[in-house]
Structure 1
Amino acid sequence: MFTFTEEHRALREVLRDYFADDPSWAGLLSDVGADAILFDRADATPIDVAILAEEAGAALFGGPIVPALLASGCADALGVTERLAPARDGALGVAANVVGAEPVWNAEGGCLILLTGPGSVALLDSADDGVRITALNGLDPTRPLGRVRAGGASAIAALRGPAADSLLAGICPLVELAIAAELLGVAQRVLDGTVEYVRQRVQFGRTIGSFQAVKHRLADLYGAVELARSAVYGAAWGLTAAPADEQTAIDLAIAGALSRDTALTATRAAIQLHGGIAITWEHWAHRYLRRANAVVSLTGSAGGYRSRLADLVDRRDTHHG
């Protein structure tokens, strides 16, 4: 039976306080100690990763959490653990193409770049003369995206063939968990902000939160967020206790689907329940709407995860039938 420990609660509190006050990537690693979560796979658990990603999503943090997970997961197999030291210290950034194709997340000057594809994993240094990074304009300006061209570059390390595919298959579940947790953080934050707003906004002599239609809408959103939270941390516990179990793969597909549906639903509802103010560029609601839609567009839809879930359940039932 999974429950949050005192250490988990303390981690969440520290992260929430840090993200509330002008956070930086280097500070997150050194001041908060998130380097141990992102780069020490033997010590940190998937639950720690989920808490970090959730709080980062709630703050719309644009640092390379997911690329760092990918790079650290590949380090041993590529034999480049020592080369990640500047990234772990925050002196270098980390970039990666999260789903095996462009764009490359957090592709900026001064970074290590992990490029992945079918049968291919390669680690590059942006300082290499053969590396060219072109900034891309994305829907979510809080997360840098870029196009990387490295035709004349010398890779720090590379892996080809089935070994590369096997390596990525082992890392992907943790990356998918982090993305689902980020979307959970987005959904929770917009729900909290919307509840606070409807408690204060007065219309026809009453706070709009007292209107039955608004109450029902928020109750539905609360239920959806809590269901997504159970799915995300159920998957995190599965990856901690039984990472190779078929039920863990099922739980992760459920978390992927519910987190995407919930983030999109909650951010759209926040725009609607805030009324006209929410469509102004000065308001925070549109930034969360952008993050939710950008992540889903870059990492796959809820429908894709439901299709995966159907396949997993069908295989499980066939195997046990």
Structure 2
Amino acid sequence: MSIIFDQEQQALREATRQFFTEQFSSDAIRSQMATSRGFEDKVWLRMATELGLQGLALPEEYGGAGAGFVEQLVVLEEMGRAVVGSPYFSTVALAANALTVSGDAAAQKELLPGIADGSMIATLSFLDASGAVDVDGHAVVATTSPDGFVLDGRGYFVSDGHVADKILVVAATAAGTSLFVVDTQWPGVTAAELDTLDQTRKQAHLTFEQAPAVLVSREGGGSEIVERTLDLARIALAAEQLGGAQRCLDMSVEYATMRSQFGRKIGSFQAVKHRCADMLIAIEAARSAVYHAVQLAADPATADSNELRLAAPMAKALASEAYMYAARQNIQLHGGIGCTWEHDAHLYYRRAHASTAFLGGIEEQRERLATRLGI
């Protein structure tokens, strides 16, 4: 299914591509990923103030632009294309989406303006020690205190958990799985940064010891919020993967038309042509699934539908397959230079592997799809 981008959306793509090209060059990416934070604060603020990216899809009443999921698709594709390293996905696709889905007006009023203007980094803690979605809230337990709630337990593999200002935490209560907000400056919260395969996307383990927390929405309503949030996040991640896969194909074609061997451009060899054609087929198949899911998410009539719940894992599975294949072929078509640290091919290869595992791997998405189909 195709999306016809209007002039404003095309202008958004051009502006974001130019910005990411300038701010996330190969040297800049390598410099940033070598730091603990993984990004430059001034670039993060410019993304919010100059381009309005953090608040792009947030309501105008909270400082956002009031745009939709199609505009978000454009930005995420360009981020994937440039292997952007920043807490954008954790803040926007995870935390902001969870707040929006929760319907908690008080939490939205308190947190979304800070996300929109770039002054706040937020994330979502929703995994257990095995890396699976903690639907029952076993990893963290919330108990009542004179001032509200306190959390005890651990949050695992939390995206940008060590740099976040606010953390939305899935925790178990007497009423069932619930969602809470924790300020990282409050007592009882510690973070340990992890070594990651994709060094452009940081993670941390979090420890909560009698950490004060504020309930989001109703007690016991966390599972519904997280399930819908993760479906939207899977579509967002699939859009990012699509951009990365397309860039791998572009790099391969560019190199094939430039590199000569045996007195001919390697792009003239049938085997190289076939590989590039196979990459294109995989990417276009993924694009159809991703764009279909985005259209469902963008339409209020289908944003919380069964159709979207089927489209989300399908988009994530196909985008993961396409990105993995394109990233692998990109290295092989570049030959020896593609295997070096100095070449950018490995940045996409690492991102492809990490993104495939993030929010559930290919087989997990297929199993989720089959379950939702009633198979």
Q: Distance in 1 between matches of 2:197 and 2:323?
A: 15
Provide the residue aligned with 1:20 in structure 2: 21
Q: 2:54 pairs with 15, 35, 47, which one?
A: 35
Q: Secondary structure at the match of 1:20?
A: helix
Q: Distance in 2 between matches of 1:271 and 1:236?
A: 30
Give 1:48 shift.
Answer: 1.6
The letter of the residue matching 1:96 is L
Per the TM alignment, residue 128 of structure 1 is displaced from its structure 2 partner at its CA by: 1.7
Alpha-carbon distance in 2 for matches of 1:289, 1:49: 24
Aligned to 2:39: none
Counterpart position of 1:269: 329
Matches within 5 A, 1:244-259: 244-259=304-319
CA separation of 1:246 and 1:109: change in aligned 2, threshold 3 A: closer
CA contact (8 A) 1:128 1:154 kept: yes
Contact in 1 for aligned 2:238/2:319 (Cα 8 Å): yes
Q: How far off its partner does 1:286 sit?
A: 0.4
Residue 162 (structure 2) aligns with: 108
Which has the higher mean CA deviation after the structures are superposed, 104-113 or 75-84? 75-84
Q: Deviations over 1:33-56 (max 9, x none)?
A: 113324338922121222221111
Q: Say if 1:74 and 1:217 are closer, same or farther in 2 by CA, change over 3 A.
A: closer
**How far is 1:78 from its partner?**
6.9
8 Å contact from structure 1 (residues 78, 157) kept in 2 = no
Aligned to 1:318: none
Which of the numbers 93, 100, 104 marks the counterpart of 1:77?
104
The one-letter code of the counterpart of 1:54 is: E
- Amino acid aligned to 2:204: G
Deviations 1:267-305 (A, max 9, x none): 011111111111111110001100110111222111222
Distance, in Å, in 2 between the alignment partners of 1:230 and 1:30 is 32
**For the Cα contact (< 8 Å) 1:198–1:208, is it kept in 2?**
yes
- Which residue of 1 is the match for residue 221 of structure 2? 163
Structure 1 unmatched ranges of 5 or more: 316-321
Structure 2 spans left out of the alignment, 5+ residues: 25-42, 128-132, 135-155
Matched, 1:53 2:76: yes
Mapped to 2, the partners of 1:150 and 1:38 lie a distance apart of 31
Q: Is the 8 A contact 2:168 2:179 kept in 1?
A: yes
Give yes or no for contact 2:249–2:280 (8 Å, CA) kept in 1. yes
SS of 2:66's equivalent?
coil
1:140 is displaced (CA, Å) by: 0.6
Q: CA deviation at 1:123?
A: 1.4
Question: Do structure 1's residue 229 and structure 2's residue 287 form an aligned pair?
Answer: yes
Greater fraction helix: 1
Query: Any conservation in 1 of the 2:55–2:65 contact (CA below 8 Å)?
Result: no
Residue 156 (structure 1) shift: 4.1
The AA in structure 1 aligned to 2:355 is V
Indicate the larger mover: 208-217 or 77-86: 77-86
Task: Give the TM-score normalised by structure 1.
Answer: 0.90
Relative to its length, the structure with more strand (as a share) is 2
The answer on whether the counterparts of 2:179 and 2:221 sit within 8 Å (CA) in structure 1 is no
Q: 1:243 to 1:91 in 2, by over 3 A?
A: closer
Contact 1:191–1:266 (Cα < 8 Å) also in 2: yes
CA distance in 1, matches of 2:115, 2:207: 21
Q: CA deviation at 1:312?
A: 3.5
- Residues 1:30 and 1:124: Cα distance change in structure 2 (over 3 Å): same
Q: Distance in 2 between matches of 1:63 and 1:183?
A: 15
CA distance, structure 1, for counterparts of residue 220 and residue 12 of structure 2: 37
Tell me, yes or no, if the aligned pair for 1:30 and 1:90 is still in contact at 8 Å.
Answer: yes
Identity %: 34
Q: Select the residue among 333, 338, 352 that pairs with 1:292.
A: 352
Whether the 8 Å contact between 2:57 and 2:65 is mirrored in structure 1 is no
**Residues 125-134 or 69-78, more deviating:** 69-78
Contact 1:95-1:112 at 8 Å conserved across structures: yes
Q: CA deviation at 1:160?
A: 6.2
The 1:238–1:308 alpha-carbon spacing in structure 2 relative to 1, beyond 3 Å, is: same
Aligned match of 2:261: 203
Q: Tell me the residue number matched to 2:202.
A: 144
- Whether the 8 Å CA contact 1:96–1:105 is kept in 2: the answer is yes
Cα offset for 1:98? 5.7
Of residues 208-217 and 95-104 in structure 1, the stretch that sits farther from structure 2 once superposed is 95-104
Does the 8 Å contact 1:54/1:184 carry over to 2?
A: yes
